[in-house]
């Protein structure tokens, strides 16, 4: 559930949905909802809910969007989520998959109601513009600079959406959930974070991405209770007329009457009072296990074996997620995996893993894998199966799995290799299957089941009659069931009383006992042998980890308290809507423009730029046009992308050259560029193979030369084929890609089109990243270029590759210039028909402060250092250059958070060339770090 807060060349929905599906649009009074064939029932329900939500939230926040809101309903991803942007148009993407476990979204009466309430709150807050911004939108359209709601901390955006999604009577939303209370108890115990950090974008300290949601909803609840509920829409309204962005502190003071420091001080005291202790009766003694691992973050899914081994999933955001084995006081890595990964264990069959992967390029679906518990070798059992949870039969010959498709759960039985699937049960009316287990005697299954009215409970499924029987209900949210080794009970976790503790239900008496009293939460209980120690996943301020509770230390406290009965909303009124085939032209036209202005000696330029896309994100474009009045020059560019398959660029640009005094214009050089690439990717989470077919052409000539100056026109073109293999990984807490390789092979010819050059060229670009310790990285690079006589020659030199950070960097063909820090570009000694360049680098973390300033709203995530040594050369004939040139350099890298909404990487470097033509160079450039 994310609000897209920053603007760029590409707009909402940066990744296209499957264009091969049959898409339709359902239009209601306030929404245009696009869906694909098969989603008809869900689409009508989503529209009904959306129209009802709008009638509630529009008056609350005092705003109604002028145009209909675009909504896309998609079932391409097996995780619950939604996306929202208001630039350039109001756009919401809804994922049809509901929550199926204890993941902070477990509390809802209707998944679409919670999701749409959250996302539509974003629309109202981001879309609202009054005063001067609204007036200027009449001239510039929906320019993101005139949308004040974008320019504020994510905390204030996500927090309001979580506040609105929360309904305590309906026991719905994260603002009243036990998991969010657990997170905040741990935060308070560690110390409430300062405003300058909470307001930063992209904080990677745990709970990383949840920080804006967690602090945000508590902040709005604090405003509600301390200053009055009416101050919440007032905060939105007062900020909506800010033409000068980022005046968040001033808005707080104007609306609440206290300056930002006083508000945050009072908020901190509010949190201390509310969350300082767990919600147990006075005098309750804590009963907790011993912490065995110290990974933190998203460690999950413990499974104990009778031989003393305990398997679990490590996902610490520093390195590749992995299945771990704990034994004899030590943990070791068994096999890499991806999060979320859900384990089941059988001594005869090994580990069974349910985890997502890319399916048919556009989909992200759960599948089943078998992992050898000794060697770690992994075998894929299903392909695009959508099996979210699975369990072995006691003899290891069969698998039962919970499947989710179009928000409908089913229970599927298959053989041990994933074949011969048979559906045992199909859910109705939004019933959801969560975690499950197979009884030791083979006759029953136990599962967490969500049903309307009763919400989450535990139920047993008889394999003889294919029917469900209630086992545990009415004690709050429950999950993570596992039969005890003797088959007489079921271990599980439940938040009865407001804290997730380990429980056990006796299958004969149905009596429930509480096993722990933890200060935060306890999940995923598992027991390897009858009467043995209980292992579980516990929680601290650093995240989740593996714990052990000695069997003799477990409580046997009867559980008698019942959870409050939720109040379900009545079904929304049916909306009569108009259905028609989806059109990519609807919403495709520009919604805004940004002026381009430039002035200097003999130069006056005016222009306009815009971007746009269709609702599905299949067709995207960026365009600009400008006119230089002194020399009557028309320029501009047009960049188009279709479904991550086709890229096309056409541009006419002018480069102006002045004398050393920068006063007299000597030359205007016109460059016409035409490039196109057609791509076919084969994608998985581990690697991507991309085949590219493309062409590129450049033509340069002078349109103005001062007396005594002149240049020969240059026209170049190439068509070619490229293969790229990319297995690099870049984790949330990474200073660089730190695993894998990126290998690019390009072959092209200059004879396909009319050109000043002819012949063929081939290029290899190999980059290898090797982890060295916790975060340090060894970066190796090798580039080789080979051209026949007559090609446009290769050139080494300059501190960055041409086009870095611009759309031109996306194109593969007709590239001849390569960075070689320490040497200037364009020199004859490093120009030739063939080239070779090798690089050896070390990237070292320095510190990770993740701290910011209040004014200006700028923060620092981390600092790192890069040191490199390059050696390269060019030549025309033979197998090697006559001599090699060498250089070395260092770069100071700062990962920054800018103005609440953007993460950027600033690189400042210095390089020295050791050989002929070398020089000392200082440079700086910006990168967009890969998340």
What string of DSSP letters covers 490-549? EEEEE-GGGSBEEEEEETTT--EEE--B-SSBEEEEEESSTT--EEEEEEETTEEEEEEE
Residue 1 pLDDT grade (very low, low, confident, very high; cuts 50, 70, 90): low
CB 729 within 8 A of CB 656: no
**Mean pLDDT value across residues 186-190:** 96
Provide the pLDDT confidence category of residue 512 given band limits of 50, 70 and 90. very high
pLDDT of residue 753: 87
Q: Taking all residues of the chain, what is their mean pLDDT, rounded to a whole number?
A: 93
Greater pLDDT, 4 or 212: 212
Q: Are strands 794-796 and 817-818 parallel, antiparallel or unpaired?
A: parallel
Residue closest to 516 by CA, chosen among 531, 530, 533, 529: 533
CA dist 349 and 399 (Å) reads: 10
- In order, the DSSP letters of 797-821 are -BSS-TTTTSGGGG--SS--EE-BT
Q: Is the confidence at residue 2, as pLDDT, over 80?
A: no
Statement: residue 602 has pLDDT above 80: no
CA atoms lying within 13 Å on the CB side of residue 181: 18
pTM score, two decimals?
0.94
Distances (CA, A) of 771 to 328, 687, 727, 739, 768: 27, 17, 14, 6, 10
- d(CA 151, CA 157) in angstroms, rounded, equals 10
DSSP state of 210: G
pLDDT for 87 beyond 80: yes
Residue 177: strand, helix, or coil = coil
154-167 residue pLDDT tens: 999 999 999 999 99
Confidence class for position 5, pLDDT limits 50, 70, 90 = very low
Q: Strand, helix or coil at 846?
A: strand
pLDDT of residue 752: 87
- The mean pLDDT value for 570-574 works out to 92
How many helices (DSSP H) and strands (DSSP E) are in the chain?
A: 10, 53
User: For residue 15, is pLDDT > 60?
Assistant: no
DSSP class of residue 295 equals -
Q: Which tens digits make up the pLDDT trace of 610-619?
A: 999 999 999 9
Radius of gyration of the chain (CA): 30
Give me the mean pLDDT over the 385-404 stretch. 98
pLDDT of 810 strictly over 60 = no
Taking only the tens place, the pLDDT of each residue in 56-67 is: 999 999 999 999
Could you tell me if 543 and 297 are in contact, meaning their C-beta atoms sit under 8 angstroms apart? yes
What pLDDT does residue 85 have?
A: 95
pLDDT for 547 equals 98
Q: Give the mean pLDDT of 110-119.
A: 97
pLDDT tens track for 643-662: 888 999 999 988 877 776 76
Query: Mean of the pLDDT values across residues 16-45?
Result: 95
Residue with tokens 């707080």: 252
pLDDT recorded at residue 7: 31
Q: Which residues pair with 364 in a beta bridge?
A: 77, 358
Return the pLDDT at 931.
Answer: 46
Of 278-282, 590-594, 887-891, minimum mean pLDDT range: 278-282
pLDDT digit string, tens, across residues 436-478:
999 999 999 999 999 998 999 999 999 999 999 999 999 999 9
pLDDT at position 9: 31
Helix (H), strand (E) at residue 58: helix 40-61
So what's the pLDDT on residue 578?
92
CA distance 353 to 679: 33
> What pLDDT, on a 0 to 100 scale, did the predictor assign at position 3?
56
Per-residue pLDDT at 551 exceeds 90: yes
The H or E element containing residue 254 is: helix 248-256
- Residue 803 has a pLDDT of 58
Is the pLDDT at 90 greater than 60, yes or no?
yes
Interhelix angle 248-256/231-239, nearest 10 degrees: 140
Residue 837: band (very low, low, confident or very high) from pLDDT cuts 50, 70, 90? very high
When pLDDT is averaged across residues 299-323 and rounded to a whole number, the result is: 97
Strands 69-74 and 31-36, how do they pair?
A: parallel
Say yes or no to pLDDT of 603 above 60. yes
Structure tokens at 456: 């989450």
DSSP 592: B
């Amino acid at each position: 559930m994310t609000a897209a807060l920053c603007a760029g060349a590409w707009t909402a929905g940066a990744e296209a949905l499957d264009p091969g599906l049959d898409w339709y649009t359902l239009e209601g009074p306030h929404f245009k909802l696009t869906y694909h064939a098969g989603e008809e029932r869900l689409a009508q329900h989503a529209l009904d809910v959306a129209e009802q939500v709008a009638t509630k939230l529009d008056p609350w926040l005092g705003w109604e969007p002028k145009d209909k809101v675009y909504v896309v309903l998609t079932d391409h991803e097996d995780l619950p989520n939604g996306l929202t942007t208001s630039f350039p148009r109001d756009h919401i993407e809804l994922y049809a998959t509901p929550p199926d476990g204890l993941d902070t979204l477990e509390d809802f009466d209707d998944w679409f109601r919670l999701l749409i309430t959250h996302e539509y709150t974003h629309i109202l807050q981001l879309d609202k513009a009054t005063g001067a911004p609204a007036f200027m939108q009449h001239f510039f359209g929906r320019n993101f600079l005139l949308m004040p709601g974008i320019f504020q901390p994510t905390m204030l955006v996500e927090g309001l959406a979580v506040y609105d999604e929360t309904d305590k009577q309906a026991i719905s939303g994260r603002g009243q959930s036990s998991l969010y209370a657990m997170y905040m108890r741990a935060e308070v115990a560690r110390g409430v974070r300062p405003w300058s950090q909470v307001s930063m974008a992209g904080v990677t300290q745990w709970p990383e991405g949840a920080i804006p949601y967690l602090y945000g909803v508590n902040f709005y609840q604090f405003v509600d209770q301390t200053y009055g509920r009416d101050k919440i829409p007032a905060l939105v309204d007062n900020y909506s007329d800010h033409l000068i962005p980022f005046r968040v502190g001033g808005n707080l003071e104007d609306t609440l009457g206290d300056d930002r420091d006083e508000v945050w001080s009072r908020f901190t005291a509010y949190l201390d009072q509310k969350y300082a202790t767990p919600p147990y009766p006075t005098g309750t003694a804590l009963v907790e296990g011993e912490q065995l691992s110290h990974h933190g973050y998203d460690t999950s899914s413990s499974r104990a074996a009778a031989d003393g081994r305990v398997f679990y999933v490590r996902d610490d955001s520093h390195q590749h997620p992995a299945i771990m084995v704990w034994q004899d006081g030590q943990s070791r890595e068994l096999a890499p995996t991806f999060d979320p990964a859900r384990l089941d264990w059988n001594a005869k069959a090994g580990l069974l893993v349910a985890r997502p992967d890319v399916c048919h390029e556009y989909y992200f679906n759960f599948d089943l894998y078998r992992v050898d518990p000794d060697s770690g070798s992994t075998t894929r059992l299903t392909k695009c199966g959508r099996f979210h949870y699975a369990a072995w039969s006691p003899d290891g010959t069969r698998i039962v799995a919970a499947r989710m498709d179009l928000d409908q759960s089913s229970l599927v039985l298959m053989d041990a290799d994933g074949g011969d699937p048979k559906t045992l049960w199909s859910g109705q009316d939004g019933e959801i299957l969560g975690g499950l287990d197979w009884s030791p005697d083979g006759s029953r299954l136990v599962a967490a089941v969500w049903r309307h009215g009763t919400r989450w409970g535990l139920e047993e499924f008889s394999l003889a009659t294919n029917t469900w029987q209630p086992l545990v209900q009415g004690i709050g949210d429950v999950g993570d069931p596992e039969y005890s080794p003797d088959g007489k009970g079921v271990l599980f976790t439940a938040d009865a009383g407001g804290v997730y503790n380990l429980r056990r239900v006796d299958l004969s008496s149905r009596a429930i006992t509480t096993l722990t009293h933890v200060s935060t939460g306890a999940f995923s209980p598992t027991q390897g042998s009858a009467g043995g120690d209980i292992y579980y996943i516990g929680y601290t301020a650093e995240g989740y980890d593996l714990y052990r509770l000695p069997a003799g230390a477990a409580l046997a406290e009867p559980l008698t308290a019942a959870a409050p009965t939720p109040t379900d909303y009545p079904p929304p009124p049916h909306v009569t809507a108009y259905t028609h085939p989806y059109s990519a032209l609807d919403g495709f036209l520009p919604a805004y423009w940004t002026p381009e202005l430039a002035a200097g000696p003999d130069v006056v330029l005016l222009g306009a730029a815009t971007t746009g896309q269709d609702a599905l994100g299949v067709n995207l474009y960026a365009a600009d046009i400008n006119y230089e009045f002194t020399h009557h020059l028309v320029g501009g560019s047009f960049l188009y992308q279709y479904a991550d398959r086709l890229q096309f660029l056409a541009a006419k640009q002018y480069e102006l050259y002045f004398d050393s005094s920068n006063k007299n214009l000597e030359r205007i050089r016109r460059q016409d560029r035409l490039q196109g690439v057609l791509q076919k990717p084969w994608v998985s989470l581990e690697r991507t193979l991309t085949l590219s077919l493309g062409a590129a052409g450049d033509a340069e000539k002078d349109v103005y030369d001062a007396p005594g100056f002149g240049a020969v026109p240059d026209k170049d073109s190439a068509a070619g084929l490229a293969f790229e293999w990319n297995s690099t990984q870049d984790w949330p807490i990474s200073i660089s890609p730190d695993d894998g390789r990126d290998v690019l092979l390009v072959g092209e010819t200059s004879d396909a089109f009319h050109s000043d050059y002819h012949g063929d060229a081939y290029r290899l670009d190999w980059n290898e990243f090797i982890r060295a310790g916790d975060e340090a990285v060894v970066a190796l690079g090798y580039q080789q270029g080979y051209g026949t006589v007559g090609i446009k020659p290769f050139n080494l030199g300059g501190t960055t590759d041409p086009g870095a950070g611009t759309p031109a960097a996306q194109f593969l063909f007709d590239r001849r210039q390569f960075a070689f820090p320490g040497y200037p570009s364009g020199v004859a000694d490093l120009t030739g028909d063939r080239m070779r360049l090798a690089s050896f680098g070390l990237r070292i973390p320095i510190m990770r402060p993740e701290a910011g300033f209040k004014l200006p709203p700028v923060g620092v995530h981390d600092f790192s250092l890069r040191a490199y040594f390059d050696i390269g050369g060019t030549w025309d004939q033979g197998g090697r250059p006559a001599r090699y040139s060498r250089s070395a350099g260092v770069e100071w890298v700062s990962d920054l958070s800018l103005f609440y909404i953007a993460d950027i990487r600033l690189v400042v470097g210095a390089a020295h060339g050791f050989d002929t033509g070398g020089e000392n160079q200082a440079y700086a450039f910006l990168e967009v770090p890969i998340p």
